[in-house]
Structure 1
Amino acid sequence: MRKLSIAAVSLLAIFASSNVAAANDHTGFYVGGSLGQLKLKAKGSETGVGLGAYGGYNFNEWFGLEANLFVSGDLGDSYTDVGAGTFAFTPKFTYQINDTFSVYGKVGLASMAVVTKDGFYGNEDYTGFGWAYGVGVNASLTENLNIRLGYDVVTGELDSEYSNGQQNIDTDISNFALGMHYQF
C-alpha cells in the first residue's frame, strides 16, 4: 500500500506541475479501470490486490451517477482460497478546485460477495447488500484522460445459503486504488 501511495502522489505532483492548455469539459459519460489494495474485514482481516472497473455520467460540474465494480485476487492463505467483490451504484458529488483538479465524495447502495474454498469445510458463498461510500481526488491529464486516487468502502451483512453455522456476518470491503478513465 505504501508503494501505491508513493506512486500516486508522484503522478499527481507531475501532472500538477504541467498546464492543461484548454478548458476541460467535466460533464458527460466516462469509463475506466483501477488497480489497488483491497481489504476484507469479516471475522478476520485479509488484504490483497484489488482490480476495478467504473463508469458513470456527470450531469454537470458537481453532480453525477457512478457504477463501480471491484474484485480481489486470492486473499486466503495456503489452506484456504478467499475472493471478494462488490458492485455499487452511487450518486457522486464533485468539487472542482481548478480546471485540472477536483475532489469527490459518493454514497449509495452496493451488493457484496465473498467466496471461500477450503479443504475442510468445502466451498461457501456469502452474499449480501450494504452501503457504499467513497472519497477521492481526480486530475485531468488531457481534455479526455483523467487519473484518480480513491478510497471506497462497502459495509453490510453477508449471509450464506449453506451457512455451516456462520450466518449474518458483518463485513467491510475497502479498496484504495489508483484509476484512469476516459471522459467522452
Structure 2
Amino acid sequence: MKKLAVAISAAVVLSAQPAFADFYIGAKAGKSWLDDACTSMTPNCDDEANHFGGFVGYDFLDYLGLELGYDDLGKHTVDGVNDDRVSAWTLAPKFTYHINDLWGIYAKVGGAYADFGGENDWSYLGAAGVELKPHQKVAVRLEYQTLTDISNDYVRAEGNSATLGVLYKFGASEPAVVAPPPEPEQLPEPEPEVQTMKHQTAKMGEETFALNSAQLTEAAQSDLDKLAAFLNKYPQSNVELVGHTDSSGSDEYNQQLSEKRANAVADALVERGISEDRISARGVGESELEYDESTPEGRKKNRFVEIIVPEFEYQVEE
C-alpha cells in the first residue's frame, strides 16, 4: 500500500500546480484485452472488456510533459481472477512531436502500479498516440497503451488498450494577436531648394561675323557652345538676342543686318538643342549706339549681338 500512496501523492502534487495553460485534465474510453492471461486450464476465459480512464498532465515544454493516469481495464475472468476488476495507476513522461498547429503524435514510457484481481504489481508502461487540437483549450487523442507485466500467482499477463480520449487545458486562451509593427512614418519629402538666377547680359562682338555679313565665324563657335551649355543646364531660362550695327550705311540696311545677325545666333542655338520657344531675336540697327562713331574703334565696338538672360528661378540639385 505504500507504493499506492506514492502514486496518489504524485497525483496530488500535479493537481496542486497553478492553473496555467500547461495544466490539463482528461478522460478516455475504449477496449482492453489481456495477453497471456488465460491458459488451457482456464474455464470460461474472458480476457476482453471495456476500458475507462482518466488522467492529469502538465507540459513543461512544448514537446515534454508529465502525465498521471488511472486505468480501469474492466472485469476479467482469467487465471487467478474470477470476474474481478483489473486497474492501474500510471505515471510517465510524454514526448510530443507537433506535425503542425492542428496535429501531433506522442509517446509515453513510464511505470504503472496495477491491481490484478486484488493482487498488486509494478509494471512498465508504453503508449503511443495521435492528438488533434481543434481548439486552443481542447484536444482529442487516439491512443494505444500496454502494461508489460501484470502478474499474480498463476500467470504473467500483458494489459493492452485502445482508447479515444478528450482533454481540457486550464487557463489556455486564444493566442494573442500581435499587431503588425507600425509602418514607418512617411516623412514629407523636403521641398527642393529654389534659387534665383539674376538678370545677365553679355556681348558677342565684331569678331562674331564677317564684315557686312551675318555669317558666323569660326571664332564665334566656342562662345555659342558655352551659351548653349548654360541654357541646357538651366531649362527654366530664356534668352533674348538683340543685334546692333554702327552708323555706316543706310538705316534700312543696318536694321536688316542687325536682324539677320540676331537670327543667325538664334539658329545656331537651335542647332545645339535649345528650343525655339525659349529664344527671341530682334535687331535695332544703329538706333542704340553705345560708342563714339567718330573713330574706327568706336564704330567697331558698336557691331555686336547682345545676349540677355532675364532673371529666373531654378531648383538646386541634391
TM value normalised by structure 2: 0.42
Report the more deviating stretch, 56-65 or 33-42.
33-42
Aligned pairs (5 A) from 1:1-184: 28-44=22-38, 46-76=47-77, 80-115=82-117, 125-159=118-152, 166=153, 169-184=155-170
Change (3 A) 1:76 1:140: same
For residue 120 of structure 1, what is the aligned residue in structure 2? none
Task: Give the superposition deviation at 1:42.
Answer: 4.1
Q: Which 5+ residue runs of structure 2 have no aligned equivalent?
A: 1-20, 39-45, 171-318
Report the more deviating stretch, 149-158 or 57-66.
149-158
- Looking at structure 2, the residues matched to 42 and 32 of structure 1 have their Cα atoms a distance apart, in angstroms, of 30
Letter in 2 for 1:175: S
Relative contact order (alpha carbons < 8 A, sep ≥ 6): 1 or 2 greater?
Answer: 1
Q: Looking at secondary structure, tell me which structure has more helix per residue.
A: 2
- Looking at structure 2, the residues matched to 35 and 71 of structure 1 have their Cα atoms a distance apart, in angstroms, of 9
Task: Give the superposition deviation at 1:69.
Answer: 1.1
User: Which structure's CA Rg is the greater one?
Assistant: 2
Task: Give the superposition deviation at 1:113.
Answer: 1.1
Question: Is 1:110–1:130's contact at 8 Å kept on the other side of the alignment?
Answer: yes
User: 4+ residue runs of structure 1 moved beyond 4 angstroms?
Assistant: none
Q: Which 5+ residue runs of structure 1 have no aligned equivalent?
A: 1-26, 116-124, 160-165
Aligned residues: CA RMSD? 1.9
Give a deviation string over 1:104-162, Cα, whole Å, max 9, x none.
Answer: 001011111121xxxxxxxxx22200100100000012110110000111112524xxx
Q: Looking at secondary structure, tell me which structure has more strand per residue.
A: 1
Paired residues in the alignment total: 141
- Looking at structure 2, the residues matched to 57 and 111 of structure 1 have their Cα atoms a distance apart, in angstroms, of 20
- Looking at structure 2, the residues matched to 31 and 111 of structure 1 have their Cα atoms a distance apart, in angstroms, of 20
Letter in 1 for 2:126: Y
Letter in 2 for 1:170: R
Change (3 A) 1:70 1:157: closer
- Looking at structure 1, the residues matched to 35 and 84 of structure 2 have their Cα atoms a distance apart, in angstroms, of 12
- Looking at structure 2, the residues matched to 143 and 109 of structure 1 have their Cα atoms a distance apart, in angstroms, of 29
Question: Is 1:38–1:173's contact at 8 Å kept on the other side of the alignment?
Answer: yes
Task: Give the superposition deviation at 1:96.
Answer: 0.3
Task: Give the superposition deviation at 1:47.
Answer: 0.6
Question: Is 1:40–1:84's contact at 8 Å kept on the other side of the alignment?
Answer: no
